[in-house]
Amino acid sequence: MTPEIKKQAVLTLYQQGQPYAEIAESLLMSKNTVKSICRRSGLKPLPMKDTDVAACKNCGKPLIEISGGRKRIFCCDQCRYAWWNHSRHKQPYILTCRQCGEKFISFGNKNRRYCGRDCYNLSRYGEGLP
């Protein structure tokens, strides 16, 4: 297939309503190449289908996307705050301090090494601390 024939095939399939990924797969092309061909030809993006509507990560309400903006994840600030506050309280890990050998609990961070700032300072700077 010559590049001109591929270009015509891309434009035809896109005007029939096929998404970039399906066109790229059927013509054995990169998805970004298909996007570039459509954009350079002056074709406007297809409207979103009902199945493409995103939902709020917290409450599940459908999100209203604003063109030209970032993809929304939450419907409002209250949902964003609630989700982050809920997800922050993760599984507790019982760990052992590398300095004093005491057991301590760490919420959400299993990579902690010390039970507190005092043990960290003793480990790093030595015994001469007050």
The band of 102, judged by pLDDT with boundaries at 50, 70 and 90, is: very high
Indicate if the pLDDT at residue 104 is higher than 90.
Answer: yes
- Distances in Å between the Cα of 56 and the Cα atoms of 20, 59, 106, 108 are 25, 6, 30, 24
pLDDT of residue 48: 53
pLDDT of residue 101: 94
Domain spans in the chain, listed from the N-terminal domain onward? 3-40, 50-88, 92-125
Mean pLDDT across the chain: 83
Question: Model pTM?
Answer: 0.38
**Residues in CB range of 124: below 8 A, 6 or more apart:** none
Burial of residue 99, with CB atoms counted within 10 A of its CB: 0-12 exposed, 13-18 middle, 19 or more buried? middle
Tell which wins on pLDDT, 8 or 44.
8
Indicate if the pLDDT at residue 68 is higher than 80.
Answer: no
pLDDT of residue 66: 74
Indicate if the pLDDT at residue 29 is higher than 60.
Answer: yes
